[in-house]
Amino acid sequence: MDYRKITLAFLLCSLFFFAEAQAQEIPDRERFVKLDGSGQELPADAEQWSMVMDRSTGLIWEVKTTDGSIHDKDKVYDWRGAREDFIAELNAMRFGGFGD
C-alpha cells in the first residue's frame, strides 16, 4: 500500500472541503472580485474586467472575450499549443501581473 498517495489524497480532499466551508461564509458580492489585466482589484461596478478572483480559494479565472485576441472564447489550443503558444503569450504580456 502506498501511504504517500493516500496521504496526498486525504490532504487534497481536506483542502477542498476546507475551502468550500470558507466559501460558504462569504457572501457572493464580497467573495468574487473583478481584476484588471495587471491583477489589480477593480470596483464591483466596473464595466470591464479581465479576470475574476474568488477570495475564499484564491483561484483566478480569465474572462473570455469575442474580440479575436488571445482571450477570445473561440480560440482553441491543443495540449502543446496551450503550453507553447497560449501560456508563452500570456507570460510575455505579463497577464495578471505574472510572467512565470
Q: Which amino acid is at 98?
A: F
Sorted by where each begins, the domain ranges of the chain are: 27-97
pLDDT digit of tens for each residue in the chain (100 aa)? Answer: 544 555 555 556 566 655 555 555 676 678 899 999 999 999 999 999 999 999 888 899 999 999 999 889 998 888 888 888 888 888 999 988 888 7
Verdict on whether the full-model pTM lies above 0.85: no
Phi-psi region of 68 (alpha: psi -120 to 50; beta: other; left: phi over 0): left
Paired strand residues for 35: 41, 51
